[in-house]
Structure 1
Amino acid sequence: MNVGLVIALVILAILIILAVWVIGIYNSLVGMRNRVGNGWAQIDVLLKQRADLIPNLVETVKGYAGHESGVLQAVTQARAGAVAAAANPNASLEQRAAAENQLSHAMLNLNAVSEAYPDLKANVNFMDLQAQLRQVEDKIAYARQFYNDVTMKYNTRIQTVPTNVIANMFHFMPAQYFVADEQSRVVPQVNFQPNVPPQVRF
């Protein structure tokens, strides 16, 4: 057999193996990137569900605790900020997270204030809205954990050798984590005194 032909066949075989390897890694990265996108889409849906529930909750609280205007206004403004960030196609994930964290903190303040009003706590509509919000919050927490898990796997994959070579070649960018800040997890303390409106400590 011609030596030149053998060399050509060997080179061709190496190129085919290399091409298959590149295609395999590329498809794997695309799949992982799509899982990250799907994870964020699930969070986005849940965040919109939460935003839709909040106006009704604010109106219910207003009927029993209208003088808590500062807390009610803070929730309304935080919700408006979260909705605006969600509607802005140029908003980064960090901006979305910051807006949602601010809303979470405002909701904690609202829930803390509501503890001072037994009639409000016994209101069927209020209890139903709170139950729905708790369910959504639980789903958001689970979806956030899933998103951050797939993000970590994706980021690790595109940063490790030899996959990082293919990732750089095809411009696979790291995904951002969706993290709740510490402030949004801290429940405010409410002081109850006779004949004095409840005060929230931030």
Structure 2
Amino acid sequence: MRSGAAFVPTSGPLSVRRLRAAFAVLGLATLLSGCGAINRVPTLEESAKSAWSEVQNQYQRRADLIPNLVETVKGYAQQEKDVLVGVTEARAKASSVKVDASTVSDPAKFKEFQDAQNQLSGALGRLLVTVERYPDLKSNQNFLALQSQLEGTENRIAVARRDYIGAVQAFNTEVRTIPGRWIAAWFYPEAKPMETFTATPNSERPPNVKF
């Protein structure tokens, strides 16, 4: 051996331990893959993201109904300017909150989204209370059509939120418990627990939008 050359062992207790650990991980991965457990984390994650997309779709559907609703009410109750402006501004704020797949794992972004939607719900509620003072408006055919669509949308929002909460609960439980936590750490380190909706008054049922 040449003088001064560094000697790098190719075997020994440390190398053997590393080799055994690598085989153990490989064996566990094969076992988990065979029973489907290794795919459970991404499967539940995609299910939760799909449920989140449906929540967004239904909130957008509600937002799309509001301009026609405001215009219809304005034709009969122009003096209710403050209420109408409140709804319009709340809709603009809710629409300005940017959401994507990362929102569900970002507490601050998720709270911003929920707060904006709650404010819009409150503004709509105040508008619908105001409508009670205008019998002619309540019998307008366009208004009746909007009533039906809005009521249906609120029901869809409630269902979409319920499904999302269930999907997130399943995913979060998986990545926080064993063996899901190990699998996520080894194979899906980007998988993070997701945020969910916090309880609001009467959140167990959709808002009353009957006119």
TM-score, normalised by the number of residues in structure 2:
0.75
Q: How many residues align?
A: 177
Q: 2:28 aligns with which of 18, 25, 32?
A: 18
Residue 89 to residue 147, structure 1, CA distance change in 2 (3 Å): closer
Structure 2 residue identity aligned to 1:63: G
The one-letter amino acid paired with 1:58 is V
Distance 1:133 1:97, change over 3 A: same
Gaps of 5+ in 1: 1-10, 188-202
Question: What corresponds to 1:124 in structure 2?
Answer: 141
**3-state SS, counterpart of residue 30 of structure 1:** helix
Residue in structure 2 matching 1:66, options 64, 72, 78: 78
Find the structure with the greater CA-based Rg. Answer: 2
How far, CA to CA, are the matches of 1:110 and 1:180 in structure 2? 23
Which residue, 124, 143, 161 being the options, matches 2:160?
143
Sequence identity percentage: 37
Helix, strand or coil at the partner of 2:111? helix
Q: Which residue of 1 is the match for residue 39 of structure 2?
A: 27
TM-score by length of 1: 0.78
Q: Please, which of 88, 91, 108 is the counterpart of residue 76 of structure 1?
A: 88
Select the residue among 160, 173, 177 that pairs with 2:196: 177
The verdict on how the C-alpha distance between 1:180 and 1:81 changes in structure 2, with shifts beyond 3 A counting, is farther
Against the structure 1 CA distance between its residues 186 and 126, is the aligned structure 2 distance closer, same or farther, given a 3 Å change threshold? closer
Residues 120-140 of structure 1 deviation map (CA, whole Å, 9 limit, x = unaligned): 101110111011011011001
- Report the Cα offset of residue 78 of structure 1: 0.4
RMSD: 2.5
The structural deviation recorded for 1:178 is: 2.5
Structure 2 unpaired stretches of 5+: 1-19, 104-108
Whose strand fraction is larger, Structure 1's or Structure 2's? Answer: 1
In the TM superposition, what whole-angstrom CA distance separates every residue of 1:95-125 from its partner, at most 9, and x where no partner exists?
A: 1111111101110111011011100101110
